């Protein structure tokens, strides 16, 4: 049995990166440990990466935002001579099964989006200092940065050799970012993506593939000059010192994963996981100084970190559990109390901003998760504000319509009262999907006036019949039918084809406009998944499997 993949790490444990802080400027230096692959069977030569390298990169990006609030520009570069990054390790891809490849690409795509998010939303712009060859995923990593500065040494090239060498796509955003982010002409992008040797500095600048070039003698000065300029443009909010992201407290047993505020119960026979997110145990502190005292234990930060880690854990380690049942428990008013504290400090305190954007990213992670998501809204739950977004991210919402009116009848203790949903500002734009729309705006695209009506109900605890009438939930069975209806719904879902559900959900969840992010996950990733399954790439005679063997791939020439 392979050990589970763990997505939590810390700089002291890095094997592939160095994180260097110098006032407003940070440097992430990639120097992959060749023998540090997360799985056996390949060496991470030439700064090629695997999931393990990307886990460290994700951690570094995240820590810079929370632990180093003074940083206003980040230089991403390589510790190797004449090599920036060779992209995803090819032998790793060749030996990986299809779900691993897809999951690996999803996580790396999410991390590249985090890099763009840091520049756009947190005032930490990234600069790729391309000090040598940037091939495939290496150039795609640079493309995710806000600026690309390339050394002009007569030999360094940027390239996307996936199509010519491996018969797969530059699927970590490369094709999309070329034409959509950088506005590179599609014919030039076509040349770049079919020419295995790539493009040297002067042509790269002419074609818009990089933003600046410099000879080796002026490269470091050019990079640091542009980093200082980026830092000067930053609109990062002020605030106190950084918050240390203390190690997560996670216990993982055979059928349960537990954190202080989040638990997952794994039902392997039924093929489902029940995820329960708990509201805060105590009221919000009066101000952000109080939040800082709590540090990583501050409930909104702690619960988001735990949920984010759980999503990654389940996606990588529990591929056989295709349905996630999302529940909450706690006091809705306490949830909203924390939200009020943070909302009051938005744009004025970096910590409030960072927690909001982190919650946004975690919810987006859920949006692109290839699992069916059912939300169960029951008595004692706290689907309020940001936690209500969990329900709206789900494919369906079931809400218990407690006909006894919350009256516990003959029970020994009073019950928690009927199930409710409470809307807040968090549901009307503060936590947008990758499309730019709030989940409610996406949900009610067919009836735009309805959003304004819902906004008027913000702050009110909406019961099951009202929520059903307002379209916030799919079904509202009463307490007599609840157990049976949920059981049947879960069984029916578990009987369907996992692939068909993944494809269906990836389409239904993204009504409305497409953006760079949705195009990467919807269009490019879908094509990459398809190409990965084709014998021309992954078959025994395919290019991915034959790479480095000295034998050319045998292609089926028919176009589909």
Binding map of a copy of itself across residues 349-388, x = CB under 8 A, - = no contact: ---------------------xx-----------------
Asked if 158 and 142 touch (Cβ cutoff 8 Å), the reply is yes
Q: Where would I find the H helices in 263-324? A: 288-294, 299-317
Beta bridge partners of 20: 27
Q: Quick one: which of 150, 384, 462, 543 contacts a copy of itself (CB under 8 A)?
A: 543
- In the bound state with a copy of itself, the residue whose beta carbon lies nearer, of 53 and 323, is 323
Strand runs labelled E in 167-250:
199-200, 212-214
Give the 3-state secondary structure of residue 156: coil
H or E stretch at 324: strand 323-329
396 contacts a copy of itself (rule: CB under 8 A): yes
- Residue list 131-150, contact with a copy of itself (CB under 8 A): none
Asked if 271 interacts with a copy of itself (CB under 8 A), we say: yes
C-alpha closest to that of 317 among 51, 20, 48? 51
Which is nearer to a copy of itself, 70 or 319 (by Cβ)? 319
Q: In what side-by-side order are the strands of the sheet with 147-151?
A: 17-22, 25-30, 73-78, 125-130, 147-151, 212-214
Among 363, 410, 404, smallest CA distance to 386 is for 363
User: Using CA atoms, how far apart are residues 521 and 502, in angstroms rounded to an integer?
Assistant: 12
State the catalytic residue, choosing from 110, 114, 147, 162: 162
Report DSSP state, residue 478.
B
When asked if residue 526 is in the footprint of a copy of itself (CB under 8 A), the reply is yes
**Does residue 446 belong to the site contacting a copy of itself (CB under 8 A)?**
yes
- Tell me: does residue 449 bind a copy of itself (CB under 8 A): no
Between 404 and 497, name the residue whose CB sits nearer to a copy of itself.
497
Q: What H or E segment, with its residue span, contains residue 439?
A: helix 439-443
- 488 near a copy of itself (CB under 8 A): no
Closest approach, Cβ 124 to a copy of itself, in A, equals: 25
CB under 8 A: which stretch of 50-58, 59-67, 210-218, 552-560 binds a copy of itself? 552-560
Name the residue nearer to a copy of itself (CB basis): 64 or 473. 473
d(CA 214, CA 396): 53
Length of the chain, in residues: 560
Identify residues 202-261 at the interface with a copy of itself (CB under 8 A).
208
Closest residue by Cα to residue 338 from 314, 130, 330, 107: 330
Q: Give the list of residues 6+ apart from residue 452 with CB closer than 8 angstroms, or none.
A: none
- Asked if 98 interacts with a copy of itself (CB under 8 A), we say yes
x/- mask, a copy of itself, residues 456-485, rule CB under 8 A, reads ---------------x-xx-----------
Q: Which is nearer to a copy of itself, 74 or 178 (CB)?
A: 178
Please report how many Cα atoms fall inside a 13 Å half-sphere around the Cα of residue 330, on the Cβ side. 26
Active-site annotation holds for 88: yes
Q: Determine, following the binding rule CB under 8 A, whether residue 539 of this chain makes contact with a copy of itself.
A: no
Radius of gyration of the chain from Cα atoms? 24
Instruction: Give the residue with the Cβ less far from a copy of itself, 141 or 166.
Output: 166
Report the C-alpha gap between 314 and 234 in whole angstroms.
36
- Are 419 and 377 spatial neighbours (Cβ–Cβ below 8 Å)? yes
Q: Which one of 278-286, 316-324, 415-423, 460-468 is the stretch in contact with a copy of itself (CB under 8 A)?
A: 316-324
Known catalytic residue: 455?
no
445 φ/ψ angles, rounded to the nearest 5 degrees: -55, -30
Q: Tell me which of 116, 140, 378, 505 is the catalytic residue.
A: 140
Rounded to the nearest whole angstrom, what is the least distance from the CB of residue 407 to a copy of itself in the complex? 30
Candidates 360, 519, 545, 546; binder of a copy of itself (CB under 8 A) is 519
The interface region with a copy of itself, picked from 60-68, 138-146, 456-464, 500-508 by CB under 8 A, is: 500-508
Cβ proximity to a copy of itself, 402 vs 505, nearer residue: 505
CB 421 within 8 A of CB 384: yes
Told to judge if 466 belongs to the known catalytic residues of this protein, a careful annotator would answer no
**Active-site annotation holder among 119, 136, 137, 385:** 137
Of 144-152, 302-310, 379-387, 535-543, which segment contacts a copy of itself by CB under 8 A? 535-543
Asked if 510 is part of the footprint of a copy of itself (rule: CB under 8 A), the reply reads: yes
Q: Which stretch binds a copy of itself (CB under 8 A): 82-90, 277-285, 455-463, 531-539?
A: 531-539
- Residue 371 exposed, middle or buried by CB count within 10 Å (0-12, 13-18, 19+): buried
Binding residues for a copy of itself, total number by CB under 8 A: 94
Is 320 one of the catalytic residues?
no
Q: Does 443 bind a copy of itself (CB under 8 A)?
A: yes
Which residue is listed with tokens 């695997």? 50
Q: Which residues pair with 158 in a beta bridge?
A: 134, 199
Q: Which residues, numbered 102-131, are part of the site for a copy of itself (CB under 8 A)?
A: 102-103
| Cα 147 to Cα 181: distance, rounded to the nearest angstrom | 11
Choices 80-88, 358-366, 451-459, 505-513; region in contact with a copy of itself by CB under 8 A: 505-513
Helix ranges, 68-132 (H): 90-95, 98-122
152-211 positions binding a copy of itself, by CB under 8 A: 162-164, 166-170, 175-176, 178-180, 182-191, 193-194, 208
Positions marked active-site: 88, 137, 140, 162
């Amino acid at each position: 049995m392979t050990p589970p993949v763990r997505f939590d790490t810390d700089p002291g444990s890095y094997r592939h990166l160095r994180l260097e802080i110098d006032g407003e400027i940070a440097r992430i230096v990639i120097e992959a440990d060749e023998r540090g692959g997360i799985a056996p069977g390949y060496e991470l030569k030439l700064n090629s990466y695997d999931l393990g390298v990307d886990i460290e990169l994700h951690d570094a990006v995240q820590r810079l935002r929370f632990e180093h609030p003074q940083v206003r520009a980040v230089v991403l570069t390589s510790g190797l001579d004449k090599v920036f990054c060779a992209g995803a390790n090819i032998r790793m891809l060749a030996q990986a099964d299809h779900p691993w490849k897809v999951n690996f690409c999803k996580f790396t795509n999410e991390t590249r989006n985090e890099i763009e998010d840091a520049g756009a939303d947190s005032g930490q712009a990234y600069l790729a200092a391309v000090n040598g060859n940037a091939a495939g995923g290496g150039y795609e990593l640079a493309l995710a940065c806000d600026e690309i500065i390339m050394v002009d040494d007569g030999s360094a090239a940027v390239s996307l050799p996936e199509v010519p060498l491996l018969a797969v796509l530059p699927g970590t955003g490369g094709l999309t970012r070329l034409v959509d982010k950088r506005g590179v002409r599609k014919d030039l992008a076509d040349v770049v993506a079919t020419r295995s040797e790539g493009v040297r500095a002067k042509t790269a600048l002419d074609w818009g593939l990089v933003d600046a070039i410099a000879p080796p003698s002026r490269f470091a000065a050019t990079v640091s000059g542009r980093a200082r300029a980026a830092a000067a443009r930053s609109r990062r909010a002020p605030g106190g010192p950084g918050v240390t992201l203390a190690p997560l407290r996670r216990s993982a047993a055979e059928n349960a994963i537990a954190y202080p505020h989040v638990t997952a119960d794994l039902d392997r026979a039924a093929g489902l996981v029940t995820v329960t997110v708990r509201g805060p145990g105590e009221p919000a502190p009066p101000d952000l100084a109080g939040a800082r005292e709590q540090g990583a234990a501050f409930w909104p930060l702690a619960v988001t970190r735990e949920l984010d880690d759980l999503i990654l854990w389940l996606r990588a380690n529990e591929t056989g559990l295709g349905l996630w049942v999302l529940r909450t428990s706690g006091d809705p008013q306490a949830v909203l109390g924390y939200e009020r504290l943070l909302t009051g400090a938005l744009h004025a305190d970096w910590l409030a901003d960072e927690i909001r954007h982190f919650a946004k990213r975690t919810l987006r992670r859920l949006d692109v998760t290839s699992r069916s998501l059912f939300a169960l809204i029951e008595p004692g739950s706290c689907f309020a504000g940001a936690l209500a977004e969990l329900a709206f991210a789900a494919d369906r919402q079931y809400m218990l319509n407690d006909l006894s009116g919350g009256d516990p009848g003959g029970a020994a203790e009073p019950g928690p009262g009927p199930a409710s949903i409470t809307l807040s500002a968090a549901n009307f734009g503060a936590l947008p999907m990758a499309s730019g729309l709030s989940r409610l705006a996406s949900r009610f695209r067919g009836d735009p006036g309805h959003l304004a009506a819902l906004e008027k109900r913000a702050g009110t605890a909406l019961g099951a019949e009202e929520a059903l009438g307002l379209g916030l939930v799919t079904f509202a069975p009463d307490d007599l039918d609840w157990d049976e209806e949920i059981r049947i719904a879960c069984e029916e879902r578990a009987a369907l084809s996992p692939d068909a559900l993944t494809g269906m959900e990836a389409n239904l969840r993204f009504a409305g406009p497409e953006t760079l992010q949705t195009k990467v996950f919807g269009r490019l990733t879908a094509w990459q998944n398809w190409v990965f399954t084709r014998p021309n790439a992954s078959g025994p005679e395919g290019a991915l499997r034959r790479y480095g063997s000295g034998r050319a791939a045998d292609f089926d020439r028919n176009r589909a």
